[in-house]
Homo-oligomer: A and B are copies of this chain.
Amino acid sequence: MSVTLHVCITCRAGQTLSDDEIRPGARLHAAIVEAGAPDGVTIVPVECLSACSQGCSVALSAPGRWSYVYGRLSEAHAQDILAGAAAYAASSDGIVPWRTRPEIFRKQSLARIPPIAALPEAAE
């Protein structure tokens, strides 16, 4: 089963940009696509991950797994992001052993969300 790596392509990373400048988020997305998705990872661009003050940002998610959002990223981190995404894809629940995570994933987590489960009405 494939996991999704969302990359915010509208991020300005706190910079003031003219209309014709490529946004840092778009540059990050291009660098990640150029580096190439590992097996089991689908790269999906997204307009705004609502982490604007901590951009650029990416998110990892998949059915039945914890989701993670990372920030303060640039295209220099493309290879590390993909290594982290590959480790996430290789996990069963999205939780990658701490020491196996790239340093940017250890230090630049913005948030994580437990697996989304449809709860039976009786549990409400």
Where the two chains meet, the residues of A that have a C-beta atom closer than 8 Å to any C-beta of B are 1-2, 4, 6, 37, 42, 44, 46, 48-51, 54, 57, 59, 61-63, 67-69, 71, 109-114, 116-119, 121, 123-124
8 smallest CB-CB distances across A and B, nearest first, come from A69-B111, A50-B112, A51-B111, A50-B109, A59-B113, A111-B111, A61-B116, A110-B111
Known contacts A42-B119, A124-B42; A113 and B69 CB within 8 A of each other: yes
Chain B residue, CB-CB nearest to A116 = B61
CB < 8 Å neighbour of A4 from B1, B112, B116: B116
Known A1-B118, A2-B124, A118-B1: A113·B42 in contact at CB below 8 Å: no
